[in-house]
Every structure is written in C-alpha cells, then in structure tokens.
A and B are shown apart, each in its own frame.
Chain A
Amino acid sequence: MAAETGTPTTLTLKSNDDELFSVAESAAILSVTIRNMVEDGCAGGVIPLDNVDGKTLASVITYMNGISAIPADEEKKKSYRDKFLSDKDFETLADMVLAANYLNMSCLMDAVSAKIAQVMEKKSVGWVRRKFGIENDYTPEEEAAVKEEHKWTFEGVETDDDN
C-alpha cells in the first residue's frame, strides 16, 4: 500500500537471539516465507524468525539489499552472488544455507549449495573428510566395499594416502 504512495514500507525482522533488523519490504519479499506473511497481513509488527541467529540474519539482509538493488540482469546478479559468498567460511555457509532453506529463498539456497559443492568437487575423500570434519564411521571392510561398488568414480581424482 505504502509503496504506491511513494514511501517504501519497512519490515522489522527478529532473530532467534532477539536482535531486531529493519529491511525494505521490497528486498525482504525475496524470501517466500516472509512474502507469504506479508500477503497474509501478518507483517504488521515484528516478524520473528525462530530458526535464524542474528549474525546470519544480518548477512542474509545484506544479501537481500544487495541483490534487490540490481536490475533484472542475471549476469550481474550472478557476479554479485559470487562476490558475496567469496569470503565466507564453511561454518557461515552452512548457517546461510540453513537460513535460506527456512526463509525459502531459492536463489540464495542454490548459490550457497553450489558454492559448497564446488569446494567438494574433484577432491579426494580424505581431503573432504578433513576439511569438513566428517568422521569416517565405516569399518575398513565396509569402506573398501563401498569403494569397490563405485570404483569408476575414483578415476582421475587426486589420490590421497590416508583416505
């Protein structure tokens, strides 16, 4: 309504650790979860986002503002996303992908999962385990059996002695 009269509407979002953030409605509705709340008229007061902490929400809002400021140009949006994610560590990326999933923001969800996938691609099993702290709960026999089953996937991949 207010958008039609020229003043942009602002929404207030609350993280699960009680931090408050204001964000332009036009940027916030990139999240389908928030858009549905706005359309249902539940966005009058503060919108509580129970699954997102303050640090992650701040990051997501930076993304919302950044991406919505770019006009419909897929190339520019893509390069913004790449730049936005380039300096994030895995812990942050994991929080972001959870938040994006909860907020139903497919563009962010896709970008973050693609980024994590890109890191894991073409790497040895041992490298991925160490980098992401994945505990190997296979017995040596089980592991050998799984490897044997998918032998072809190891062709041309960097070898790693302790995997």
Chain B
Amino acid sequence: MSRTDDAFRVKRRRKTAARNVFDKLPDDILIAILSHMSLKDAVRASVLSHRWRNLWKFTSRALVFSDRDTPTGARMDIRKFQVLLARELELNQSTGLDSLIIRFSNRCKYTTSDIIDDWIFLAMQKDLKNLELDFSVRPRFRYRYKFPDACEVVFEHATETWLCGFSTRARTLKELGVFASLRTVKLVDVSIKDEVVHHFLSCACIEQLCIRGSRSTKNLRVVDPLPYLKQLEISNCRKIRSLVISAKNLVSCTYQGRRKISFPFKENPNLTELTLDGPLCESFIYEPKNHSSYSFQLTDLVLKLQISVCARLLIIISFV
C-alpha cells in the first residue's frame, strides 16, 4: 500500500516538475508563436503532440527576401536569388502571408519576372497586409518589372479549381476581390497600371501608398473615401499626366518628378507634411497663391529646388 503511495507521489512530483507551460495557452497564441518561426520550424513542431499537429497550417508570416546581405552589404548572385525565391514559393503555398517584401537590384537583363509574378499570384490568394517590391534599377537601365494586372496573372497561373470560386466574368482585381486587406504598399522601380493602383486605393484599410519610378503611371486619382490613408508618395513617374489628391485623413505627402502637372491638391484638411521637387516645387515658391488653400496648415515642408545642375538647395521651413 505504502509502496504504491510512494510510487504515486514520485510520479506526481515528476509531473509537476515538468508542467506543460503551453497547457494554459489557447491555440490562437500557439499559432502566434509558430508564426514567428521559419516555416520549417513551425512544421516540425507538428511532431510534438496531437495538439500541435495541424497548428502550423494556420500560421501566417512576414516574408522578407533581399539579395543584399545586411552585415556585409554583399549582393547575392541573381540566379541564386531566383532559386531561393522559387524554393520559398513552394514552401509557403499552404500557410498565411502577412507581409511580402522583396528587394533586389535589377541590374541585368536576366530578369526574375516570372517568379515575381508567381509570388504576386500567391499573395493574391492570401490576406496580404503589407507589400513591398523594391527592384531599384541603375539609372538609364531600361528594363522595369511590370506589375501584372488581373487577367494576365490569373489566366497564366490559376488552376481551374481556384478560378471556379469566382465569377467567370471577373477580369480585374476588383472583380476578383483580391488584395482586400492591404494596409501598406511600396513599389520602387515597378511599373504599375493606374487601374491596379486605383484598386489598391479602394481597399478599405489602405494606410500607406508609395509608387516610385513607375513608367505606366499616367492619370492617378487619390480621392476619398480613403478613411485610413495617412501617407502618400508618388515619385519619378516619368509618364504621369495628371494627379488629383483629395483625402481627408492624409497627413504626409511626397510628390517628386520633372514632369509638369496641374495643381493636384483638392481637399486635404489634415495634410501637415509635404515634400516637393520639380515644377510643383517651383510653383509652390513662385505662385504661393495657388497653394494657399493648404499651405497654412503645413508643419513640415521640404522643397527640393534645383538651381543648377550640380547644386541643390534644400529648404526646410517650419511653420508652427
């Protein structure tokens, strides 16, 4: 009797010594923990116990790919980078995707367009919140990645099973209802059509939009309802013809470009930070009356005025 008691006690003591810390955590928190690991580590956790077996399938991660090694600054060979992108694409098919950040220097004609298209198609099927594609090209380098529009991506990549969830008439991103959860979008040296930008702006939660160096941007309207849009940057879009900015909650705006466009600002009562260069900057200085509808409310103003080829005057005026 006493022996079994002792044995019981020993067993109990051992149990309390190695108490399962995770017992008190709900699955949602375990999923949050697994989402902070690489996919490989999260999947391996399925071997721990029955409870962990399928949790990895609900994880969602932020993926960052860069061809530049941060400590040394060395660049990865573009082919190796492509292989990396292809392998990760395969691995990340069945889990969530919160953020997708791809940065590489687009410096040879050997392009990575196909694999990037595949990534964008994958992102379309997830509740992506943050998208950054930074494909900085060398000056005078003519090739630029073209952000696919709906028809192209869908019909090249989608399987029939995926498509049957949608109306057969759906031809645009809007009709497909994809990218609806986007909050931040940053595209550098990516050519993107106005329809696609307008679709991003129609997403209910969009907070930040940055388009730099797009050759397909022509007539852009950043117009309410944009309840969460706080930051906007449109820079160096060489073919831009017109821009209209009218967003009640917009706080920070940057417009840069040599091309002359008509006065873009309509109703922006919360705009306090502004950066301008090119003709719009000159207009701000020489025709202040045209800008009086909003200039009084600015607290941070950066004007990049080009006075000669090599000298650049940076004037920072602080109102308040």
Contacts and interface: CB of A to CB of B under 8 A. Distances in A.
Contacts of B29: 97-98, 101, 113
Q: Which 7 A-B pairs rank lowest in CB-CB distance, beginning with the nearest? A: A117-B36, A133-B18, A153-B44, A133-B20, A114-B36, A113-B33, A113-B32
B54 to A, nearest CB: 10
Nearest to B44: A153
Interface stretch (B45-53, B133-141, B222-230): B45-53
B47 A146 contact: yes
A18 B21 CA distance: 24
A154 B22 contact: no
Q: Interface residues of B toward A: which range?
A: 20 to 34
B44 A154 contact: yes
Given A122-B41, A132-B20, A153-B40, A117 B34 contact: yes
A76 interface: no
Given A113-B36, A117-B33, 20 more contacts: A94-B24, A98-B29, A101-B29, A110-B32, A110-B36, A113-B29, A113-B35, A117-B35, A117-B37, A125-B44, A132-B22, A133-B18, A133-B19, A133-B21, A134-B22, A135-B20, A137-B49, A138-B47, A138-B49, A153-B40
B48 to A, nearest CB: 5
A134 B19 CA distance: 8
B43 interface: yes
Q: Interface residues of A toward B: which range?
A: 35 or more
Interface in A139-155: 143, 146-147, 150, 152-154
Contact of B41 (A121, A146, A147): A121
Contacts of B28: 101
Contacts of B52: 134
B38 to A, nearest CB: 7
A98 B47 contact: no
Interface of B: 18-22, 24-25, 28-29, 32-38, 40-41, 43-50, 52-53
B252 to A, nearest CB: 14
Among B19, B21, B45, B52, which residue has the most Cβ atoms of chain A within 10 A?
B21
Interface of A: 90-91, 93-94, 97-98, 101, 109-110, 113-114, 116-118, 120-122, 125, 128-130, 132-138, 143, 146-147, 150, 152-154, 157, 163
Mostly helix, strand, loop or mixed at chain B's interface?
Answer: helix
A22 B40 CA distance: 44
Given A109-B32, A125-B44, A138 B50 contact: yes
A132 B49 CA distance: 12
Contact of A128 (B18, B32, B48): B48
18 contacts: A90-B21, A94-B22, A94-B24, A94-B25, A98-B25, A117-B33, A117-B37, A120-B33, A121-B37, A128-B45, A133-B18, A134-B22, A136-B49, A137-B49, A137-B50, A146-B53, A152-B40, A153-B40
A91 B18 contact: no
Contacts of A109: 32
Nearest to B17: A133
A64 to B, nearest CB: 20
Contacts of A94: 21-22, 24-25
Contacts of A150: 43-44, 46-47
Nearest to B52: A134
A143 B24 CA distance: 24
A153 B24 CA distance: 27
A120 B41 contact: yes
A121 B38 contact: yes
B25 A97 contact: yes
A90 B18 CA distance: 12
Contacts of A130: 18
A103 B43 CA distance: 29
Given A97-B29, A113-B29, A116-B33, A147 B45 contact: no
Given A94-B22, A94-B25, A117-B34, A134 B43 contact: no
A134 B24 contact: no
A151 B24 CA distance: 30
Contacts of A135: 20, 49
A147 B43 CA distance: 10
Among B35, B40, B48, B50, which residue has the most Cβ atoms of chain A within 10 A?
B48
A143 B19 CA distance: 22
